[in-house]
Chain A
Amino acid sequence: MGIFDYFRSPKVRSASQAKERLQIIVARERAHRSGPDYLPALHREILAVIRKYVHVDDEAVQMNLEREGDCEVLELNITLPEKD
């Protein structure tokens, strides 16, 4: 940092942004990797079953597998469209 830098507006340090973004995406991808192989297929089929009855988009079904000690919890979150 030179004397002239003090007159410039402080910038967000991009390296810390990089680290934060990486920590989030890497954690998400690791969780996905360690999950059972059938998760993507299960997700697709659940979506297909729901679509027999209501029209929802791809984002409507959120699946999350979490490990708590010896126990695995599969959290399923289905967002139904608002009624017009």
Chain B
Amino acid sequence: MARIVVITSGKGGVGKTTTSAAIATGLAMQGRKTAVVDFDVGLRNLDLIMGCERRVVYDFVNVINGDANLRQALIKDKRTDNLFILPASQTRDKEALTTEGVERVLGELAKEFEFVICDSPAGIERGALMASYFADEAIVVTNPEVSSVRDSDRMLGILASKTKKAEQGGGAIPATLLLTRYSPARVDKGEMLSIEDVQDILSIDLLGVIPESQAVLNASNSGIPVVLDEDSDAGQAYLDAVARFLGEERPYRFTTLEKKGFFGRLFGG
């Protein structure tokens, strides 16, 4: 049975789509058959981050409405084997994602794939609720910044009460924290919440820490998931997170400030 994983955050712009693309690609690179689904109806962007925007013919809502079948709508990734993308629709009708429709499509995907990654839209409206409703587990993407941490906590509350599992009395689905845009230098100066600070507040297990990195913008500019830039700090940090997700133990990298030499310390920086 497939693992259905929602990538969520509450707040927008923290890196949900970047993370969905990176984790899905990372899993596929490990030989795991993976589908990544864009739930941001009306504001489709996963296709652009995955670099398949010109190959979109049918979308999620077409499949729900029966205008196309899943096989027609799924886009096979050109760079990575075992990876398929289901793009969101550009319709402005927010009610397009019906509970029954989403359940049927996810059910079909679960039969064929080992992992189904649900890229949630920002906010706590229908799209976000549907992205997490049928999930088995959640990855909460958070920036070390007050509004993002607060919204993540709100989202954890929703994961504890507004999923199918919770409504059936099964309690909260397991959630792990992925801290993105982390800057050890600013943490060292006392200008940014540390990993421990964020964990103290949210009290969930850590899955990964992605450093603030130019590689992320470069990757999205070219439509190549950042994990394929294997020399980059962010790419490596995402690959570590994928390995941990699959149960491996990996030490954390890019989370501490590299010690400066004598002159560096004397003159600051």
Contacts and interface: CB of A to CB of B under 8 A. Distances in A.
Given A3-B266, A13-B190, A22 B157 contact: no
Interface stretch (B60-68, B102-110, B194-202, B211-219): B194-202
A77 interface: no
Contacts of B154: 29
Given A13-B190, A15-B192, A18-B193, A30 B269 contact: no
Contact of A1 (B197, B200, B268): B268
B197 A15 contact: yes
Contacts of B192: 15
Contacts of A23: 200-201
A3 B154 CA distance: 43
B267 A3 contact: yes
Contact of A22 (B150, B194, B265, B266): B150
A9 interface: no
A19 B200 CA distance: 9
B146 A22 contact: yes
A30 B153 contact: yes
Contacts of B153: 26, 29-30
Interface in B146-162: 146, 149-150, 153-154, 157
Nearest to B264: A2
Contacts of B145: 18
A2 B150 contact: no
Interface string A21-38: 111011001100100000
Interface residues of A, number: 19
A5 interface: yes
B268 A3 contact: yes
A16 B146 contact: no
A59 to B, nearest CB: 23
B125 interface: no
B190 A25 contact: no
A13 B191 contact: yes
B187 interface: yes
Given A19-B197, A19-B200, A19-B201, A4 B190 contact: no
Contacts of A16: 190
Given A3-B268, A15-B187, A15-B191, A30 B157 contact: yes
A2 B265 contact: yes
Given A3-B268, A14-B190, 7 more contacts: A4-B268, A5-B268, A15-B194, A19-B193, A22-B193, A22-B201, A26-B153
| Across the A-B interface, the 5 shortest Cβ-Cβ residue pairs | A2-B268, A13-B190, A19-B197, A2-B267, A33-B157
14 contacts: A2-B266, A2-B269, A3-B266, A4-B268, A5-B268, A14-B190, A15-B192, A18-B145, A18-B197, A21-B146, A22-B201, A26-B149, A26-B201, A29-B150
